[in-house]
Amino acid sequence: MRSVSVIVPVYNVEKYLARCLDSLLNQTQPDIEILVVNDGSTDASGHIVDEYARKYPDRIRAFHMENEGVSAARNRGVAKAQGKYLTFVDSDDYVTGDYLERMVTAAEKNSSDLVIQGFRMVDENGAVLSEVCPTEYIPGKKEEWPLRIISAWGRLFRRDFWMEHKLMFPLGVRAEDAPVNLAANALAHHIQVVPHTGYQYFQHSASAMHNFKGLQKYRLPYEALKETLQYIQDTGLVNDRYFYEYCVMRILAFWVFEFARGSSVAKIKELCHYIMDMLKTYIPGYMRNPYVNPFRKLEIPFLHRASILVLAVLCKLHILTPVIRVYAKLLR
């Protein structure tokens, strides 16, 4: 069995793909496999994938599929993975040489289902724009890092845990990693954080973070998140209830304050009604969560904490939809 299966979804990244794959080939963690899934690229990315697979047949496995989106590509990689652990790296990003070794060491030492490492946001020249570095994870006392770093990348999952809970990325939506990471945060045993910033999150004009506002083209994973909330309720929480509820509220606050901008009235109504329904059904006591107080000491940016309080208050007063309609219009 390989130690780690690294899944790299690829779509039209010919300019950056070699840098990503080279960083994975130079890992200090031994016996990894790199599963590169070409999601119907129309540039030279597919040729680059095949060249690397031919050059490194013992380390790189190449797969080609019709364009179905990043979720389908990641799911395809997971289905083919053979490693003890799973991790995801976006094909325009790259990692430091000890990125995987640090996470595997933490997982093995603590029998962890989930390990989280920090990241740097870097520009075209490799200059660091900002960084997010975890400090510590203390069950029941300091569990905020899994809900602060909620991307698919930056995480190492035990594959048996992933398969046990039948985790999958929902298809055809944005924020596809939210349901998966929420389930992992709630159900993983012995979560660990690595106080290092080995993941290099590359910022350019085509980056996802520059293109996600608005709900006209993409849907959010409404059904997948609802199914995840129900599954966690039926299965039973492993980790702290208040942090779990706070994580749900953080996801919903992010959706409404980021994705609502530039959206139509109908889309805003749909999102706001969904949020109200999820809170009422699965977290009816959301206002009593001690972490809703934005002045509670948490290693989460104050604006994020404040947005959660605002969301909770607007929902409690039943004025979420009209307020967000005004907000979306002002920031169109």
**pLDDT single digits (tens) 126-141:** 899 999 999 999 999 9
Domain identity same for 36 and 162: yes
Domain for residue 176, yes or no? Answer: yes
Domain identity same for 192 and 310: no
In the prediction, which pLDDT does 107 show? 98
User: Tell me, what CATH number does 63's domain have?
Assistant: 3.90.550.10
Domain identity same for 11 and 143: yes
Domain for residue 154, yes or no? Answer: yes
Q: Is the pLDDT of residue 331 over 80?
A: no
The count of domains in the chain is 2
Query: Does 213 or 272 have the greater pLDDT score?
Result: 272
Share of the chain above pLDDT 70, in %: 96
Residue with tokens 């009604």: 273
Which amino acid type is present at position 23?
S
In the prediction, which pLDDT does 330 show? 79
Q: Where does the pLDDT of residue 207 fall: very low under 50, low under 70, confident under 90, or very high at 90 and above?
A: low
Domain for residue 218, yes or no? Answer: no
Domain for residue 235, yes or no? Answer: no
Last residue of a domain, one of 188, 210, 232: 210
Domain identity same for 36 and 87: yes
Domain identity same for 165 and 31: yes
Domain identity same for 153 and 18: yes
Domain for residue 111, yes or no? Answer: yes
In the prediction, which pLDDT does 262 show? 81
Which ranges of the chain does DSSP label H, i.e. alpha helix? 17-25, 45-55, 70-80, 99-110, 145-148, 159-164, 177-187, 222-235, 241-254, 265-282, 302-316, 320-330
> What is the C-alpha separation between 159 and 81, in angstroms, rounded?
9
Last residue of a domain, one of 189, 210, 231: 210
Q: Is the pLDDT of residue 303 over 80?
A: yes
Domain identity same for 273 and 125: no
Domain identity same for 172 and 251: no
Give 252-281 pLDDT, tens digit per residue: 999 999 998 888 999 999 999 999 999 999
In the prediction, which pLDDT does 31 show? 95
Q: Where does the pLDDT of residue 213 fall: very low under 50, low under 70, confident under 90, or very high at 90 and above?
A: low
- Taken in order 309, 274, 150, 155, the sign of the CA dihedral is positive
Reduced to 3 states (helix: H, G, I; strand: E, B; else coil), residue 164 is helix
Tokens encoding 45: 């990315």
Q: Which of 280, 241, 267, 246 is nearest to 324 (CA)?
A: 267
The 8-class DSSP code of residue 39 comes to: E
Q: Is the pLDDT of residue 216 over 80?
A: no
Give the mean pLDDT of the chain.
94
Q: Is the pLDDT of residue 234 over 70?
A: yes
Domain for residue 228, yes or no? Answer: no
In the prediction, which pLDDT does 215 show? 80
Give 68-97 pLDDT, tens digit per residue: 999 999 999 999 999 999 999 999 999 999
Domain for residue 191, yes or no? Answer: yes
> What is the C-alpha separation between 33 and 11, in angstroms, rounded?
20
Domain for residue 217, yes or no? Answer: no
Last residue of a domain, one of 163, 195, 210: 210
Q: Which of 38, 233, 248, 74 is nearest to 150 (CA)?
A: 248
Give 148-170 pLDDT, tens digit per residue: 988 999 999 999 999 999 999 99
Average of per-residue pLDDT across 308-319: 97
Domain identity same for 45 and 129: yes
Give 172-201 pLDDT, tens digit per residue: 999 999 999 999 999 999 999 999 999 999
Range of the domain at 166: 4-210
DSSP letters for 2-18: -SEEEEEEESS-TTTHH
In the prediction, which pLDDT does 1 show? 86
Domain identity same for 254 and 194: no
Domain identity same for 297 and 181: no
Tokens encoding 114: 């989930």
Domain identity same for 163 and 247: no
Q: Where does the pLDDT of residue 206 fall: very low under 50, low under 70, confident under 90, or very high at 90 and above?
A: low
- Burial tier of 18 (Cβ tally within 10 Å: 0-12, 13-18, 19+): middle
pTM: 0.94
In the prediction, which pLDDT does 212 show? 52
The answer to whether 194 and 106 are in contact (CB under 8 A) is: yes
